[in-house]
Structure 1
């Protein structure tokens, strides 16, 4: 029989053999995992979450052990281990994958259960002093100075048919901002006194607070004055309602930064709300009543009433209150992929995606947001996206510090060269201390100038006189506009840790391949601890020749709950109160002068892989062009709604949502691709219907002209809720001459008759094709044809009429000539004279009667 070997942690140095049927026991935590699983260890809480000079000197860790195997496990025990303090920011991630042998400071094993059958679980709590030297302490974590320390919670047990072995572990970071005194210390020297972190170089800290959601509005619905919105599902109602994701993100801010007058608002200045305008549009539409698809996979199917109108109203009101007292900045519309938007190259679509967000945020939230700053969802853009930003007036893009490189070095860094296939984040090899030491550092100045990313910048709107800064001579100062794009960089390691907080955590595109792993193997409590450590590292570790600056950027669809988000805010507050950090407003950060060294964009391969596929670019471009063509034909009528912009902007928004990066970093983009294709199809059908709503009505039967110059009567119909300018396209046969009416206008939801001057020189039935176009010649509606028949005989009729008139004139002249000469007309020969006299008397009598009746009538 084959004998399996159990890997034993701790001080065990032998490899015991097992009875037949035993299997190898391996950890299932952050580290590698192969072979059968017996126990699952989950971290529930850590107290204190951050150590200070006034905190408890004992670390308390609570967790849960669950038997996930198919056999019982006996003699289960747990201990805490510590590795060396993290000395490089990249190790904030890499250290969590260190092999257990690198956690060389060990606590004592504490038995937590004698037996766990399959499916059973056991909660436990273990404690260990932070420092040695106490009178009763035997072992401790032996932490002697502030820093961020990796800790490992190790569980051992004996599976049936096996021997004692390490069965799982849980890793997390512990930020130590200071050390409390050692209790009951026999040593009164400095070794037992509190140890505080140096406060001579506090880090300037800025935190973006994202509020975004994936696109929810059903595509293919143009704007209307009284129509109700349709949503794909009602999940947003739950998210905005009490206990929902977006509700809790607001609640965390409200609990820390209340709006009570007189409160210290210093910390609040470091936080800037980053709001998705698409979320605001959707929430506002919900307040007016909305419908929800009965089946999200059937966008043309039945709908049901939505249930979130009140929740959306309340949430928006709370957000307006916060936005009125805090910094606010607009996110790109629907987390649009700026590289894909640049590839579409549609000016109107780009303007809607890039210039409208700030206006939408300001309008709905009644605030004034930070302008000229873009926050790409991926944290990395290519050159075409950068040029697009600059050409639309954006002076700064917030990018990962690994997404820029000194000029001439783009593509040479480890982050630029390494990537993993989509979804390949599991079963990565175990990281050793050597691997951690080799992990590349990505540091960039807080603001850099991208000298190669330039574009013509639109002229800014004139500022009111009161807002113009004055110079000593009294003339207003006009700051020079840098044609190059600036990049405000954020730390990728803290951003990666923040992304792991909460539910459904993504792995950001800027996270290097060497440290990408499935973070859901860790508990939420462990991931929160990692984030607390990551945001504290810069404050505790001043780097030579590096600015003391930290920009914290969580993912735009952040899944942190109220407790987690509040804990992160309280950690920043703790750093500020301890003089380890100072709040820095977001607008001050982006206004910083750039580093004098030139930089260039370094588009990360993983960002390119997570991007919107190229196959969606052409359909979006085609439909965007159709919307622009129609926009030029529509007419804005004063005080009439919807306006052309209100009517067509929802369809442009649908195309922007096709290019959304939402749900594209989950490891499987199938759902995102399905949503994108569905939106393309629905928008295409909607545009087909709109173009077909303006048409010329086909006349019934054959149209008969009274004469060769009678007008042709046509009726055009406009089923759109806006007026439109049209032109008739008539393919006149050679036998007809039809006058071009030029540009005409159709009223909304109505018809109009037109008389078109026509000359027909043929009496045959003629078929005349007729259609409508925009003034630019874009076809509208369906072409029709008119069968025309004229009563005109053309030149032959004119000759016959002339000959008949000439003959009549000759005969009348002949008769008068003979009468004047007193000669009887040969035509009168054979006519009886008496009969002639009676006829003459009858004519005279009839004439008298007629005259008499006429006199009586007068």
Structure 2
């Protein structure tokens, strides 16, 4: 055994000499695994996930220790021994951008460190263990390391896990980060004298509270099947029944409503501080879907076949109950309508159809008011992307929009990157056609209410499927899936607290809190966010500010410009869908213009065609373009869904055009004379009347009189009598079809075989000759009578 020990010691000596030759850096790396360079081995060995943080927000009355429960899992291909974890802290966040960038710092920047604690002796492949790690916020006495947090603020924290792989040496194998909002520092429990100034609780300054407003979105991805026109009797069709689950107890949309109901309830929000801060933001497409569900609905067996087999939907009762609860909230809270189906407003502009544009921009408020019996805030648009370009800004202003809600980096005043004020003026977005609804003397330029980019990005990360907004700067974009749901929620709580804890020079003390429109937070997460806002209000760090107050105040006097990022362009609806939607919009307009308004029928042309136009808005939705389905900028799924909706709409409208046609007589039609009318029958299979014109292509020998515009009844036929004149006797073939008054072809043309009995010029000559002969004979008879002579023609005929 001695030689073996000698060889082992020799190897150690040789290794030490080699490290000396490499220099101090190598010695540091060997002695402290935390300073090792990241491993180039592609296989990840351990995965660390935050499960909960207690307290999630520190106050003066909180526990003086921060406890983090986490789970470490062996996700590699070998056993890992000696799994040790410690807590670390980075300097508190001092800028809004640091709310996101601090979560990407190297662990060396988390320079306040705790002690390593062994959480597992070893983990085999696939095995996991949960643990809780605690660390004091501060301590005047004692030898235990602390987080050294002595003043309020938002602090980045990190859990660092080390381990020894089976085929390697001890190293840092993973970490997990999150933000800890400290609204106040609790008393130091280790102080000998609780009255000691250094041991007392440290409260935040409430001298300049932040005026706070929050938008609470209720939206979902488009669910109604495409290509189904408006109807009085038929049930709507949904592409799936997921909405029933979302509206039912424990579903996403139900929990968003439930958490808000509790937070603004009279027993919780007694002074209505939170109620006055919140504005309900509702997608009209969601309301249309839910409202139709309450009357019973069908679910497609194949989402790609809108007219295919269906089954009965199961969510009518849940839809009715949810809608009643939203009506109650809208009656108690500020309410604003979102653009229809989270549509890409830049795409709507390029479609360039007035009715489609109105359906996206102006009609949503009417839809929300009608279904919720509410009075929405008018003249304001919150684009789903949080950013618009100059042309879209002018387009919105022309359609009566006075204000938009944009990310703070979506506007620019050339002031060196400082945050935008809460309301700015955009001189480049000016109404070229002021609407009557615009107040007399109102500003022709668009106003923009801005929200903090980092706070909105943190809120977008909350939930089962984290999103990265289009407006998020490049240096703040990273794979959100590497963080757990609990960690992402912590980041959001820290973000909404940051401005209240930091006084920014030359900036107004206000904030607009904006989650993503299709927010995938569950009940606990949404309740935590509401609780965070309510805590700021109750502590005096914030004051409520109604949404309408932001819009009514004078904007910053400096001129701002719109800033449309390349990322927003990449996330937008592609040109292929835009051009297809524009072509389809023109055909829908042509059909709708030909339909007949019947005072005796509830099915109006607008009601019949509205779902077809809304299909185009759903096809241009931004839903699903920034979540887990489009990592690395891949919008293939969203593009396929949008294109399929346009195709379904095209097929449906094609069928509608074919539903109005001329019936073939099925044989040869015989004209009794050269001026006999041509009798035809037109059929309309649509459930609404339509105006048509006859288009007849006849030979030159046949003259057709235009009978002008004709009206066909719903689901019925009408005979059409067409004056015709034929100057010849022959068999003729004429092509007959119907068009809209604007000239768009309807149905299939039909060929009619016509047999004419007219003799033309020969008949005229024969008739003329016969007439002349008759006159000659009559004249001769009269001449003989005048002379008193018998007419030779009468010889042989005697009067008897």
Pairwise same-fold verdict (TM > 0.5)? yes
Q: Which residue of 2 aligns with 1:676?
A: 642
Aligned with residue 308 of structure 1, among 315, 320, 325: 315
Matched, 1:735 2:669: no
Kindly report which structure 2 residues correspond to 1:813-824, keeping only aligned pairs within 5 A, or say none.
none
Aligned with residue 538 of structure 1, among 499, 504, 510: 499
Q: Which residue of 1 aligns with 2:165?
A: 159
Q: Which residue of 2 aligns with 1:116?
A: 123
1:818 deviates by: 7.0
1:811 deviates by: 4.7
Following the alignment from structure 2 to structure 1, what is the Cα–Cα distance between the partners of residues 47 and 37?
10
Following the alignment from structure 2 to structure 1, what is the Cα–Cα distance between the partners of residues 32 and 380?
63
1:16 deviates by: 6.7
> What secondary structure is seen at the aligned counterpart in 2 of 1:782?
strand
1:732 deviates by: 3.9
Q: Which residue of 2 aligns with 1:282?
A: 289
Kindly report which structure 2 residues correspond to 1:126-165, keeping only aligned pairs within 5 A, or say none.
126-134=133-141, 136=142, 138-165=144-171
Aligned with residue 461 of structure 2, among 490, 494, 500: 500
1:169 deviates by: 1.1
Matched, 1:452 2:458: no
Closer, same or farther in 2 for the Cα pair 1:258/1:824, shift >3 Å? Answer: closer
Kindly report which structure 2 residues correspond to 1:548-627, keeping only aligned pairs within 5 A, or say none.
548-627=509-588
Aligned with residue 527 of structure 1, among 460, 463, 488: 488
Could you tell which deviates more after superposition, 316-325 or 661-670? 661-670
Following the alignment from structure 2 to structure 1, what is the Cα–Cα distance between the partners of residues 497 and 776?
120
Is the CA contact 1:16–1:163 (under 8 Å) kept in the aligned structure 2? Answer: no
Matched, 1:382 2:389: yes
Q: Which residue of 1 aligns with 2:198?
A: 191
1:757 deviates by: 1.8
Kindly report which structure 2 residues correspond to 1:241-256, keeping only aligned pairs within 5 A, or say none.
241-256=248-263
1:661 deviates by: 0.8
1:52-78 residue CA offsets vs partner (Å, 9 max, x unmatched): 111111111111111112222222222
Closer, same or farther in 2 for the Cα pair 1:150/1:823, shift >3 Å? Answer: closer
Matched, 1:178 2:184: yes
1:461 deviates by: 4.4
Q: Which residue of 1 aligns with 2:210?
A: 203
Closer, same or farther in 2 for the Cα pair 1:768/1:178, shift >3 Å? Answer: same
Following the alignment from structure 1 to structure 2, what is the Cα–Cα distance between the partners of residues 295 and 770?
39
Is the CA contact 2:225–2:303 (under 8 Å) kept in the aligned structure 1? Answer: no
Kindly report which structure 2 residues correspond to 1:704-715, keeping only aligned pairs within 5 A, or say none.
704-715=670-681
1:290 deviates by: 1.5
> What secondary structure is seen at the aligned counterpart in 1 of 2:84?
strand
Following the alignment from structure 2 to structure 1, what is the Cα–Cα distance between the partners of residues 795 and 111?
147
Is the CA contact 2:157–2:177 (under 8 Å) kept in the aligned structure 1? Answer: yes
- RMSD over aligned CA atoms reads 2.5
Following the alignment from structure 1 to structure 2, what is the Cα–Cα distance between the partners of residues 171 and 617?
41
Kindly report which structure 2 residues correspond to 1:347-386, keeping only aligned pairs within 5 A, or say none.
347-386=354-393
Following the alignment from structure 2 to structure 1, what is the Cα–Cα distance between the partners of residues 356 and 673?
52
1:526 deviates by: 0.6
| TM-score, L = length of structure 2 | 0.92
Matched, 1:768 2:734: yes
Following the alignment from structure 2 to structure 1, what is the Cα–Cα distance between the partners of residues 725 and 573?
57
Q: Which residue of 2 aligns with 1:783?
A: 749
Closer, same or farther in 2 for the Cα pair 1:655/1:826, shift >3 Å? Answer: closer
1:244 deviates by: 1.1
Following the alignment from structure 1 to structure 2, what is the Cα–Cα distance between the partners of residues 442 and 521?
30
Could you tell which deviates more after superposition, 384-393 or 685-694? 685-694
Is the CA contact 1:274–1:330 (under 8 Å) kept in the aligned structure 2? Answer: yes
Following the alignment from structure 2 to structure 1, what is the Cα–Cα distance between the partners of residues 302 and 793?
100
How many correspondences in the alignment? 770
> What secondary structure is seen at the aligned counterpart in 2 of 1:206?
strand
Q: Which residue of 2 aligns with 1:13?
A: 28
Closer, same or farther in 2 for the Cα pair 1:730/1:164, shift >3 Å? Answer: same
Following the alignment from structure 1 to structure 2, what is the Cα–Cα distance between the partners of residues 580 and 479?
38
Q: Which residue of 2 aligns with 1:416?
A: none
Aligned with residue 79 of structure 2, among 72, 76, 91: 72
Q: Which residue of 2 aligns with 1:272?
A: 279
Following the alignment from structure 1 to structure 2, what is the Cα–Cα distance between the partners of residues 765 and 14?
102
Following the alignment from structure 1 to structure 2, what is the Cα–Cα distance between the partners of residues 398 and 77?
47
Structure 1's unaligned 5+ residue stretches are 6-10, 19-23, 414-440, 463-477, 841-858
Following the alignment from structure 1 to structure 2, what is the Cα–Cα distance between the partners of residues 244 and 110?
39
Could you tell which deviates more after superposition, 748-757 or 486-495? 748-757
Closer, same or farther in 2 for the Cα pair 1:262/1:143, shift >3 Å? Answer: closer
Matched, 1:169 2:130: no
Following the alignment from structure 1 to structure 2, what is the Cα–Cα distance between the partners of residues 524 and 298?
36
Matched, 1:696 2:657: no
1:790 deviates by: 2.1
Q: Which residue of 1 aligns with 2:106?
A: 99
> What secondary structure is seen at the aligned counterpart in 1 of 2:30?
coil
1:809 deviates by: 5.3
Closer, same or farther in 2 for the Cα pair 1:630/1:537, shift >3 Å? Answer: same
> What secondary structure is seen at the aligned counterpart in 1 of 2:249?
coil
> What secondary structure is seen at the aligned counterpart in 2 of 1:43?
strand
> What secondary structure is seen at the aligned counterpart in 2 of 1:195?
coil
Is the CA contact 1:451–1:600 (under 8 Å) kept in the aligned structure 2? Answer: yes
Is the CA contact 2:434–2:444 (under 8 Å) kept in the aligned structure 1? Answer: no
Following the alignment from structure 1 to structure 2, what is the Cα–Cα distance between the partners of residues 630 and 155?
66
Matched, 1:238 2:245: yes
Q: Which residue of 1 aligns with 2:446?
A: 485
Is the CA contact 1:276–1:334 (under 8 Å) kept in the aligned structure 2? Answer: yes
Matched, 1:443 2:419: yes
Following the alignment from structure 1 to structure 2, what is the Cα–Cα distance between the partners of residues 157 and 786?
88
Could you tell which deviates more after superposition, 539-548 or 256-265? 256-265
Following the alignment from structure 1 to structure 2, what is the Cα–Cα distance between the partners of residues 768 and 35?
76
Closer, same or farther in 2 for the Cα pair 1:763/1:589, shift >3 Å? Answer: same
Following the alignment from structure 2 to structure 1, what is the Cα–Cα distance between the partners of residues 99 and 135?
23
Following the alignment from structure 1 to structure 2, what is the Cα–Cα distance between the partners of residues 578 and 785?
83
Q: Which aligned segments of 4 or more residues in structure 1 are displaced greater than 3 angstroms?
A: 11-14, 24-27, 32-35, 259-263, 297-301, 457-462, 805-829
Closer, same or farther in 2 for the Cα pair 1:137/1:53, shift >3 Å? Answer: farther
Q: Which residue of 2 aligns with 1:845?
A: none
Is the CA contact 2:67–2:133 (under 8 Å) kept in the aligned structure 1? Answer: yes
Is the CA contact 2:344–2:622 (under 8 Å) kept in the aligned structure 1? Answer: yes
Following the alignment from structure 1 to structure 2, what is the Cα–Cα distance between the partners of residues 388 and 258?
40
Closer, same or farther in 2 for the Cα pair 1:557/1:481, shift >3 Å? Answer: same
1:104 deviates by: 1.0
Could you tell which deviates more after superposition, 750-759 or 388-397? 750-759
Structure 2's unaligned 5+ residue stretches are 1-10, 20-25
> What secondary structure is seen at the aligned counterpart in 2 of 1:178?
coil
Following the alignment from structure 1 to structure 2, what is the Cα–Cα distance between the partners of residues 36 and 784?
70
1:204 deviates by: 0.7
> What secondary structure is seen at the aligned counterpart in 2 of 1:314?
helix
Is the CA contact 1:401–1:442 (under 8 Å) kept in the aligned structure 2? Answer: no
Is the CA contact 2:258–2:523 (under 8 Å) kept in the aligned structure 1? Answer: yes
Following the alignment from structure 2 to structure 1, what is the Cα–Cα distance between the partners of residues 213 and 790?
126
Q: Which residue of 1 aligns with 2:3?
A: none
Closer, same or farther in 2 for the Cα pair 1:332/1:26, shift >3 Å? Answer: farther
Matched, 1:39 2:46: yes
1:828 deviates by: 4.9
Following the alignment from structure 2 to structure 1, what is the Cα–Cα distance between the partners of residues 310 and 699?
51
